[in-house]
Structure formats: structure tokens, C-alpha cells
Amino acid sequence: MKTIFSGVQPSGIPTLGNYIGALQYFPEMQTDDSHCFYCVVNQHAITVPQDKAELKRNTRSLAALYIALGIDPNKSTVFVQSEVPAHAQLAWVLQCISTIGELERMTQYKDKSAGAESVSSALLTYPPLMAADILLYGTDIVPVGDDQKQHLELTRTLAERFNKRFNEIFTIPEVQIAKEGARIMSLQHPEKKMSKSDVNPKAYVSMLDTDAQIRKKIKSAVTDSEGVVVFNKEEKPGVSNLMTILRTCTKQSIAEIEAAYANKGYGDFKNDVAEAVVATIGPIRDRHDELVASTELDRILDEGAERANKVARKMLRKVEKAIGFTR
Ligand code: ATP
Ligand code: MG
């Protein structure tokens, strides 16, 4: 039996990047031989300022999206991070065995703190909390986008360090990163990754955008002046990004896409990308809209928190025993 854990921050509405890099794999990881934990990581979201009402709305919305994607709450445990106190408790212990040097080397910390006048200390201590999320469940596999690879490596380091110093408690998790589309780029600045917390909504397609909004955003995506649909990440980052999007939405290969648009311009190409994205996202968004208003969602989350608490509390007890938090 394999344990899978993954999470998304309710720091905005999930994007096409989150979907292609991580979310699309969540349903297929539910097998007879796995137990999946899918978490709405709201404690991670507050490492940067959040509006209270929006955070609340985004938390429910993300949970609804999980279910809309095809996550079966009877098979998988879907829950909200702050409703399982062991996450913050273990995070503190893991912070105590992390060094400032190794946390300062994290590129997410560098990116998110760059240019900010004052930076929350939690932006620095984000990775030990993420390690706690994963280690509490004895996780074997963590499906995430490529930008989280460094945090996963640190999680493994912290788990090994703890096991060596105190007791062999933690499973060392493996990261699972998609071969294609593990890093979808911004539609407006294709040299940086697409992020749901981007201040410019034109930079991303959100999973809840209307069909009209999706078409508009794809059509105004930054490309180049060459007018040829060829894959070259360095020289043609905008076009290559759209090709990766088309590829994951239609399952065509890059070679097939290049051949199909050999004699066509960006207009036709973008049209097809937009329609492919509409076809991919539309049904998920519509299911989300039905679920988000339901009381069923709250029942799912209550049950999920109960199940997660049971597993997490057990692991926390082991940790407390190992470090001497007992009388
Ligand atoms: P934020 O800007 O608030 O950090 P985000 O868009 O980076 O939001 P996260 O909640 O941090 O989203 O990450 C959720 C999952 O989506 C992670 O597995 C992450 O690796 C993946 N992911 C994030 N951005 C991308 C992207 N541009 N392409 C592919 N996967 C991504
Ligand atoms: Mg992120």
C-alpha cells in the first residue's frame, strides 16, 4: 500500500499551471493499492498576506475543485490543513532541526521575498511546514510541479536527519514530477512560471475562468514576431509554453503540433489552444460550481479532517516520544 500526499495553497484560484503540473495527476493516483491525502494548505497561504473573506472562499473552492477533478472522498482523504493541528506542531520540531542557511537557499523564498519591504519569517520557514505535511502521513510519493522539487529534497534531508538523530520514524518520500508541463509559464512573461498569486490575471488561466475569459487570455498571450509554431524554450518561450499546454490538453506530440501548424500563423494556433483549454477546464469548472454551494462539501471536509487527525496524531505521538516530549 502506497501513501500519496499533495497539497495546493488557497492563495488564489488554481491555474492551468497547477492543473497541468500537479492536479491532473491527483485522481489517477487513487488505486486499490494507494491511500491518497489531498490537502488544502491554508497555513502555507498565510505566509503572504491574505484577505480573510477571500481565503475562506478560496479554501472551499479548492476543496470543491479537488472533488470536481475526480478525487473520490470515499477513497481519498480530502481535508484542510489548519483543521489538523499536528501539521503546525510537527513543523515546529522540524524547524528546530533546520538551519537558516538551508532555508535561505530555497529559490521560492528568494523569489517571493525579492523586492519586498518586509518579509514574513514564515516565508523562510515554509519548507519545514511542507515537510511536516508530508511526513505526518508516512508518505511514499508526492506528486508536485517542478518548482517544488527543491522543497522535496529538503523534506528528505530533514526526515533523514530526524531519523538519524532521534529514531527511525519517518518514511523518506519520493517526489513525482510530470515529464511534460511540470512548469507552465506565465502567459504575459513566459520566462517566469504561471502562478495563481500573480497580480496580473492575464498572466494565467484560472480553473474557474469562463470560456470567454479563457479564449481572451490565450489570444493575448505573449509570443514573438516570427510567426512559426516551433518548440524552442529558450528562444521562443511563449510559443513553446502554448505548445506544451496544447500538448497536455489534446495528447498530441510536439512533432504532431509542429506539423499541423507548419503552414499556419499564430492566429489559428492560438484559436486551437484556446478551444483545447476550454474543453479541458470547462467540465471541471461546471462540476465545481455545483459542489461549492453544497453542504455535502462540508461533510466531506469534516470527515476528511477526522480521518487525517487520526493518522497525524499517531505520528506526532511517535515524534514526541522520540525527542523527549514525555513525562
Ligand atoms: P502561489 O503563487 O501562491 O505560490 P502557485 O500557483 O505556485 O501559487 P501552489 O499552491 O504553490 O501554486 O502549488 C500547487 C501545485 O502546483 C504544486 O505542486 C506546484 O508545484 C504546482 N505548480 C505551481 N505552479 C506551477 C506551474 N506554473 N506549472 C506547473 N506546476 C505548477
Ligand atoms: Mg507556489
DSSP conformation letters of 112-133: HHTT-SS--HHHHSHHHHHHHH
Helix, strand, or coil here: 142? strand
Give the burial class of 78: count Cβ atoms within 10 A of its Cβ; 0-12 exposed, 13-18 middle, 19 or more buried: buried
Catalytic residue of the set 112, 217, 236, 270: 112
18 Cβ below 6 A of ligand 1: yes
Quick check: is 164 catalytic? no
pTM: 0.96
Angstrom distances, CA of residue 180 to CA of 72, 218, 221, 260: 25, 19, 20, 20
ipTM exceeding cut-off 0.95 for this assembly: yes
Which protein residue's CA is at the shortest distance from atom 20 of ligand 1? 145
- pLDDT digits over 83-115, tens only? 999 999 999 999 999 999 999 999 999 999 998
Q: Is 133 annotated as a binding residue?
A: yes
Q: Which ligand has the shortest distance to the CA of 10?
A: 1
Distance 163 CA to ligand 1 centre (A): 29
Q: Are 78 and 68 in contact (CB under 8 A)?
A: no
Catalytic residue of the set 196, 217, 236, 270: 196
Pairwise CA distance, residues 139 & 35, whole Å: 9
Number of Cβ atoms within 10 Å of the Cβ of 108: 16
Distance 234 CA to ligand 1 centre (A): 21
Q: Is 4 annotated as a binding residue?
A: no
- The confidence band for 140, taking pLDDT boundaries of 50, 70 and 90, is very high
Orientation angle between helical segments 295-323 and 52-69, nearest 10 degrees: 100
Orientation angle between helical segments 266-292 and 237-250, nearest 10 degrees: 50
Q: What is the pLDDT of residue 283?
A: 97
More confident residue, 117 or 159: 159
Q: Which atom of ligand 1 is nearest to the CA of 14?
A: 6
From 195, 244, 245, the mutation candidate for ligand 1 (largest count of ligand atoms within 8 A of CB) is 195
Domain boundaries, the chain: 2-182+295-323, 211-288
Quick check: is 149 catalytic? no
Q: How many residues does the chain have?
A: 327
Please give the average per-residue pLDDT across 239-263, as a whole number: 96
Distance 47 CA to ligand 1 centre (A): 15
Q: Which ligand has the shortest distance to the CA of 11?
A: 1
145 Cβ below 6 A of ligand 1: yes
More confident residue, 179 or 20: 20
- pLDDT digits over 185-221, tens only? 999 999 999 999 999 999 999 999 999 999 999 999 9
> Looking at the domain that runs over 2-182+295-323, which CATH code has it been given?
3.40.50.620
Does 1.10.240.10 match the CATH number of domain 211-288? yes
CA 19 to chain CA centroid, Å, is 8
Distance 21 CA to ligand 1 centre (A): 8
Catalytic residue of the set 193, 217, 236, 270: 193
